[in-house]
Structure 1
Amino acid sequence: MQVITFYYLKLLEHLISCYIMYLVIKKYIEDKMKNQLKNDMYKKILDNISDGVYFVDKERKIEYWNNGAEKITGYKQKEVLDSNCFDDLLCHCSDSGDLLCKNNCPLSFTLKDGKEREAEVYLRHKDGSRVPVKIKVSPVYDENNEITGAVEIFSDNSETLSAYDMIEQLRKLAFFDDTTNIPNRKFLDIKLNQHLNDLKENNLFFGIILIRFANYNNVKCSASRETADTILKIIAKTLDGVLAPFHILGRYDEDTFMIILPKMIESDFKDFEQRIKNIVNRCSFGLDFFSEKKEDSIKICFSGTVVKSREDIENLVI
């Protein structure tokens, strides 16, 4: 009984905390519209929370952007204020890779019907990578109970594969790729052998997906190695944010990433592989070089399989 009471108290504490934050945001907006001096106090509170918070008016013009939003997206306040949230900025997309900002924007729907909404989406970071976030959208009313705007609260939804001390340990053991900050081929080979042993002893199938930057060498020669490596970093960061802690991501070759998916079956594999394709293909590399040289446009290739024998791996990586 004491254990149950403890968890109820913890839940109540969390709900009270969320409600207080909601009241602070609501009060800030009301005071902002009335130009009251208390506005500064609420702004300081909002600027010191880790979640991203931004307000838009009825035309979806961004009027406020807190420090948490800067950290999660990479965009400074001065870069986004007075711009519209649909102006090719965050470019929210779904799991399936569908862009939401034009026709399926939660903010837009809330401005129309006044309903609160929650969703798990992927925003585009300033560096071009995709970041998984959980968003909550609420309407803002004036003293006449008319909708005058909306607020979106979003938090980084990434599931970190390892803590910083584990990363340092991997680096010291030469299991880490310094360019992309993910495990290297040596680490992947160890994990592959472990899963092959599980397959042999327990008949546990697992999945493998290869993501290849097909024209890495062309870009390296035409532009620079730094440019080619920047693209690899964006892909690696995007994949790292999409995957769960029990998935294994590494740099398998100079131009290729590998994802190992434990306990994978055929029926789930295709959907997961398609999800990875959709998210990676929505990366924005932001390099003018490629718009001028169409033959050097970035080409990302995908291949994968559910491993039921060692031969499946050999056939995939030939």
Structure 2
Amino acid sequence: MVYDESLVQLMSSLDSGVYFVDRKRRIFFWNKAAEFLTGYSGERVVGSSCSENILRHISAEGVELCVQGCPLAGTIIDGRVRRTEVYMHHRNGQRLPVTVWAAPLTDASGQTIGAIEMFTDQGDRGSLLRELEKLRHEALADPLTGLGNRRYLQIVMETRLESVEKGGEAFGLFMADIDHFKKVNDVHGHNIGDRVLTMVATTLGSAVRPLDAAVRWGGEEFILVCPKVPPKALGEIAERLRLLVEHCWLELEDTSLLRVTISLGATRARRGDTLENLVARADACLYRAKNSGRNRWVLDE
């Protein structure tokens, strides 16, 4: 692949985020779609490395790819095209699932001078926006975070619990709480607190499947309802949620980074359950996670 002006024009017109790096992984091109998908302007990122608190891709297992397994670094070394699914850091702090392609960037003589990364949002943004608009219209969405509210959870649970009663596969319910959130408000103020709530809510909502339900339960507590979750998957999902929030941060006006963690409790539905006793079991597990040191999860045995 040869770097020239026609290539730049083509990449500038794409809906996918695209950026070019040199052999030292310094960014020298950043298209408009990359600005839209990440929240970072070209002026902010050109000349810096993507690992400098910009994208900081991590895997579903929490591995920081800038440190271990960077697709751009591998492509610069061996010239191979790579595709991977990662969680990207957005300027607003949250983690978002994206599919990434890395390809070598060569000069006219065929020498590798860097690499190109293209990334695209894994979610159907148009469908998501339409659904959120519908929720707002029906007063089922939390106005701050955009997640469902308690009424939305009640509607979802009626359907899920009815299915379990009829012999359908059990679902998992996760309750998450932001650790030391009162301190965030006390130290940084409620505006920053609201940004933290939105960051965590967006990360949690992006970490689950389209048919799962993500709800703001109240304050700094969230509930996620995930159908067709076998017992062994509860811990895997809880750990993924914990890791993704742990790898989020907000960049404050003084350029310092504000990070938070969550604690989680999780349980599976069974016949005879109600919303109230399911939430009570998950809340008891959450309480145990908090008392065990926070930034961890506990399952209902």
| TM-score bracket for this pair, using the shorter chain length | 0.7 to 0.9
Q: CA deviation at 1:160?
A: 5.0
From 269, 275, 299, the counterpart of 1:307: 269
Q: CA deviation at 1:230?
A: 1.0
1:128-139 alignment, distance < 5 Å: 128-139=93-104
Counterpart Cα distance in 1 of 2:80 and 2:28: 21
SS at match of 2:69: coil
> One-letter code of the match for 1:316?
A
> One-letter code of the match for 2:170?
F
Q: CA deviation at 1:144?
A: 3.1
1:256 and 2:256 correspond:
no
Q: CA deviation at 1:287?
A: 4.1
Larger mean Cα displacement after TM superposition, 229-238 or 76-85: 76-85
**For residues 203 and 86 of structure 1, do their structure 2 counterparts lie closer, same or farther at Cα, with a shift above 3 Å needed?**
closer
TM-score (norm 1): 0.80
1:233-312 alignment, distance < 5 Å: 233-287=198-252, 298-309=260-271, 310=273, 311-312=277-278
Counterpart Cα distance in 2 of 1:144 and 1:104: 28
Counterpart Cα distance in 1 of 2:17 and 2:235: 33
**For residues 60 and 182 of structure 1, do their structure 2 counterparts lie closer, same or farther at Cα, with a shift above 3 Å needed?**
same
Q: CA deviation at 1:106?
A: 0.8
Counterpart Cα distance in 1 of 2:104 and 2:127: 37
Per-residue CA shift, 1:195-226, capped at 9, x if unaligned? 12211122431101111113333433443222
Unmatched tracts of structure 1, length 5 or more? 1-25, 32-38
> One-letter code of the match for 1:262?
P
> One-letter code of the match for 1:199?
V
Counterpart Cα distance in 2 of 1:59 and 1:74: 23
What residue is the counterpart of 1:20 in the other structure? none
1:25-104 alignment, distance < 5 Å: 26-27=1-2, 29=3, 31=4, 39=5, 41-104=6-69
Aligned residues: 280
Counterpart Cα distance in 1 of 2:177 and 2:253: 22
Larger mean Cα displacement after TM superposition, 210-219 or 104-113: 210-219
Identity of aligned residues (%): 28
1:316 and 2:282 correspond:
yes
Does the 8 A contact of 2:149 with 2:215 survive in 1? Answer: yes
What residue is the counterpart of 1:201 in the other structure? 166
Does the 8 A contact of 2:58 with 2:88 survive in 1? Answer: yes
Per-residue CA shift, 1:209-264, capped at 9, x if unaligned? 11111333343344322221111100111122222111100101211111001122
Find the structure with the greater CA-based Rg.
Answer: 1
**For residues 241 and 159 of structure 1, do their structure 2 counterparts lie closer, same or farther at Cα, with a shift above 3 Å needed?**
farther
Counterpart Cα distance in 2 of 1:217 and 1:208: 25
TM-score (norm 2): 0.85
SS at match of 2:204: helix
Does the 8 A contact of 1:160 with 1:241 survive in 2? Answer: no
SS at match of 1:178: coil
SS at match of 2:203: helix
What residue is the counterpart of 2:291 in the other structure? none
**For residues 54 and 222 of structure 1, do their structure 2 counterparts lie closer, same or farther at Cα, with a shift above 3 Å needed?**
closer
Unmatched tracts of structure 2, length 5 or more? 285-301
Larger mean Cα displacement after TM superposition, 302-311 or 126-135: 302-311
Larger mean Cα displacement after TM superposition, 142-151 or 100-109: 142-151
What residue is the counterpart of 2:156 in the other structure? 191
Does the 8 A contact of 2:248 with 2:259 survive in 1? Answer: no
> One-letter code of the match for 2:280?
E
What residue is the counterpart of 2:194 in the other structure? 229
Counterpart Cα distance in 2 of 1:91 and 1:154: 13
Q: Give the RMSD, CA atoms, in angstroms.
A: 2.4
Q: Which 4+ stretches in 1 moved above 6 angstroms? A: none
**For residues 259 and 147 of structure 1, do their structure 2 counterparts lie closer, same or farther at Cα, with a shift above 3 Å needed?**
same
Counterpart Cα distance in 1 of 2:129 and 2:109: 51
Does the 8 A contact of 1:159 with 1:244 survive in 2? Answer: no
